[in-house]
Structure 1
């Protein structure tokens, strides 16, 4: 088995476990607080440090990898470690400044993220924000440590940072139920710091050593800045989409931010396990191939990555659409999260799932462009998608309410991915588009058949079995299992090439 395949499987397993723990975090929040004002206030506040600096940190980490390879190739490892510390120290100063400004202007910030917050909900969100805002310093440093470890070929440790993160948040939520609700925010701040602190010893083991060095005039910093601005804008437009969605959701009343967040988490579970895993492993490899000017292997890697995403995500998307309500019921419906919240979350989940494949492919294609040191194309496409998303939000919320916000996200993502494919063709010419189209058509045919079988099986089992959690779980997982068998059988029958790649990876793993 190739190193890329091994890394992908290892990271996928770790990420899956981390995402399960992440769901436990969401369950703890919805169980204790349900779809209520305090939950909305917490979700809004916790998103502020992430959104404020995630764009900068993601842009830095994304451009850091190809520049690191360039520095390492031209000037050697000692120079590349010095470059890493230069970026590290600049980030500490920049993130600290942003955190202080965020602390001072916490109330206007909250109003930007949730324009309809007032009274107790606004006071609570501001209090949470002032506690958690300093977490963005650790978020920034965590991104750099993740990038460094990925360059070193260590993908498992970055995939494990969700373990301490989720454990600290769950602990904070549980303890906050006893009276002091601010404990939930304190636990989240500790969780944010744990992501960086967890990775640091492993980065040191892989050759990193801290040097108190800052040089903003460094030639590689200047080159990085030239690449980083388009990435920042490209990532930032996605964050603006999130701000607009949350702000508009706040106008619908209490609980709607929590409902959209819960549906998004279910989608994020899939994206995190499969898409982010593949993108994380393939990006350093693509950057190296691009730097070595190996076009043949580069094109092969692009086509295989895209087809693997298509093969995995299309059936999951179809399954999420037809089984949205039972999935939400099994995962969230307990404690303060009632039947009505389940129905509304299921509608949002189905609408988000329509664009799941586009979200996945966008993640991969953006990395393809970044590996080519082209950061402008994703920025332009992302800006167009953002504009469409905002317009569709305003139109669809009038007719479909919260479902309109989710549907707008999916439609804009689908349009964005068409634009990215067209731009990639202009950029490099042939990238295996015939193979991609072939796999996509076959996967869609298999997924439609699977969806019909899954839906009919669920209805049949639900009618036969009595009402109850265990019976619901049997009906759900029984229908999912049969659907997976149908889909797998059909893609094998249709001779989809990537099936053999996946099967060979599994066989190699079992033989070991």
Structure 2
């Protein structure tokens, strides 16, 4: 009994550590997402759902996908387990050597990839947006912006490497805030260069490339403080064994985490054949989905991976099970009501954020339709972010790839079936349904792999979440009943009403969870109380 009590106490400390780290990452991500929405609002106001906007969002799709794969995915998933193993089982100097070797290999490899990407940009655009070929101006504009933004791949990959090192040493704040720097630089270049260029939208493309560079450079001082400066290692030596191990994990890891992004690319390809504006509607719809997904699911995934990797390296299977259960329950506790909120408040949100300047009522309704169908899969997108790192912590990269390929095939079939009757909404719905399939299959296989996954506890938590989320319905009915959402103007009043509806919905949700004695609610509440107590006791 005593050893069991110690084990529970130790796991409690692990969960508090994960939640604290996730809070830091979530705060940084929140700042970044807010800045990202400001950038999107500026772009929507300047370019609306025009040819220039469609061209920019197709060109931006490539670096944006790479950002989500590398900065929020495969680089960390491949690097952190190996780097954590070096920190846990070998010396710090060997870990430092691994960091330098990874930096050198990545730099040389990506310089070649970027050069090829710039040269073959026309072919790339023909592949992902073949519907643009019939419009020479639109095609040429997209190719030019793709070339401007392609170096983003190099910069964001180096930023992801820096993030992996810092997260492994439990230094979460600098990487979390770095993505906000990217958006600041992007906004400055939209304002500073757009009026000066013959093609104004080029200012946005320049901002993306330089924003990626800033996201890497802002983390360099923290690397020096942790004792891991990224020095160049002579490439003529044989590859470092740790880099070889990373390489074995990186490609399958990228494929496993890229399922959603491959589906988005397929959507872009098919949307290029639909009416003008369809690509823009899907882009803005996914941006709204990424707000809760990035703040909560990606933040928790980022914070949980080093712990899962350390537990796997030490052979602590029971601890790994409990950490996974904790992560899945906590992410569902937050993302499911967020999903309900996006569905119920979608038109007021899109209207308030984007319906300005060139972005009119038709664009609002098109984007709201994309939000509706993307939101259906939000809980699955979030769940994948938690279940996939468990496989990677066990250094199993093949299973997520196999299941991912099944999901991609399912998405293509569903796209072809649904895009006819639902247009771009059908493409968004297909992405959601394939994500649900992906998550469900991964969860079934994980249960076979590690045995029980605390299923009864997870189910009990999820049922409480489902019941409590129904409290969002009254506020949404009240908000949507107002006719002000049909026309422009009264922006402050609209912002106030939307804020009231969201606050009332959130308060109702948390009150119901408290009355149901939700474990996740009281965990968060106690964590907040503990942090506030520590702050009040800290000498000033």
TM-score, scaled relative to structure 2: 0.90
The match for 2:455 is 433
What 5-or-longer segments of structure 1 have no aligned partner?
Answer: none
Task: Report whether the alignment pairs 1:457 with 2:472.
Answer: no
Is the counterpart of residue 16 in structure 1 residue 38 in structure 2? no
Q: Is the 8 A contact 2:264 2:431 kept in 1?
A: no
In the alignment, the residues of structure 2 paired with residue 232 and residue 348 of structure 1 have an alpha-carbon distance, to the nearest angstrom, of: 26
Aligned pairs for 1:180-219 (under 5 A) are: 180=197, 181=200, 182-213=202-233, 214=235, 215-219=237-241
In the alignment, is residue 253 of structure 1 matched against residue 275 of structure 2? yes
SS in 1 for 2:358: coil
Q: Does 1:304 align with 2:326?
A: yes
Aligned equivalents of 2:305, 2:99: Cα separation in 1? 18
Per the TM alignment, residue 41 of structure 1 is displaced from its structure 2 partner at its CA by 1.1
| Structure 2 CA distance for partners of 1:313 and 1:51, relative to 1, 3 Å | closer
- 2:248 is the counterpart of 1:226: yes
Residue 84 of structure 1 aligns with which residue?
99
Could you tell me which of 45, 70, 77 is aligned with 2:59?
Answer: 45
Q: Which moves more between the two structures, 312-321 or 67-76?
A: 67-76
1:68 equivalenced with 2:83 (yes/no): yes
The 1:342–1:85 alpha-carbon spacing in structure 2 relative to 1, beyond 3 Å, is same
Secondary structure in structure 2 of the residue aligned to 1:374:
coil
Q: Distance in 2 between matches of 1:488 and 1:237?
A: 33
Residues 1:473 and 1:50: Cα distance change in structure 2 (over 3 Å): closer
- 1:481 & 1:164 partners in 2: Cα distance? 29
Query: Residues of 1 paired with 2:267 and 2:169: CA distance?
Result: 37
1:468 aligns with 2:497: no
CA contact (8 A) 2:479 2:501 kept: yes
Query: 384-393 or 50-59: which moved more?
Result: 50-59
In the TM superposition, residue 50 of structure 1 has moved relative to its aligned partner by 4.3
Residue 106 (structure 1) shift:
1.2
8 Å CA contact 1:172, 1:184 repeated in 2: yes
Measure, in 1, the Cα distance between the counterparts of 2:156 and 2:195. Answer: 29
d(CA) in 1 for partners of 2:18 and 2:476? 36
Judge conservation of contact 1:216–1:222 (CA < 8 Å) in 2: no
* Equivalent residue, structure 2, for 1:166: 183
Query: Which residue of structure 2 aligns with residue 116 of structure 1?
Result: 131
Pair 1:27-2:44 in alignment: no
1:485 aligns to 2:507 (yes or no) = yes
Shift in alpha-carbon separation, 1:100–1:11, aligned structure 2, 3 A: same
Question: Is contact 1:329-1:342 (8 Å) kept?
Answer: yes
Shift of 1:348: 0.7
How far has the Cα of 1:145 moved from its partner?
Answer: 0.3
1:344-371 per-position Cα deviation (integer Å, ceiling 9, x unaligned): 1111101111100000000111111111
- Choose which of 1, 7, 19 in structure 2 pairs with 1:5: 19
- Taking the aligned partners of 1:476 and 1:269, their CA distance within structure 2 comes to 17
Alignment partners' CA distance in 1, 2:375 and 2:67: 27
Q: What is the total number of aligned residue pairs between the two structures?
A: 511
The answer as to whether partners of 1:63 and 1:224 remain within 8 angstroms in 2 is: yes
> Is the contact between residue 53 and residue 95 of structure 1 (CA under 8 Å) also seen in structure 2?
no
In structure 2, how many angstroms separate the alpha carbons of the residues matched to 1:142 and 1:246?
A: 27
| 1:66-465 map, 5 Å | 66-117=81-132, 118-180=135-197, 181=200, 182-213=202-233, 214=235, 215-447=237-469, 449-459=470-480
Between stretches 242-251 and 232-241, larger displacement belongs to 232-241
Range 279-288 or range 374-383, more displaced:
374-383
- Cα distance in 1 for partners of 2:396, 2:139 equals 41
Task: Output the CA distance in 1 between the equivalents of 2:260 and 2:484.
Answer: 42
What is the CA-CA distance between 1:21 and the residue it aligns to?
0.6
Asked whether the 8 Å contact 2:85–2:310 carries over to 1, the reply is no
- TM-score, normalised by the number of residues in structure 1: 0.95
1:153 match: secondary structure:
coil
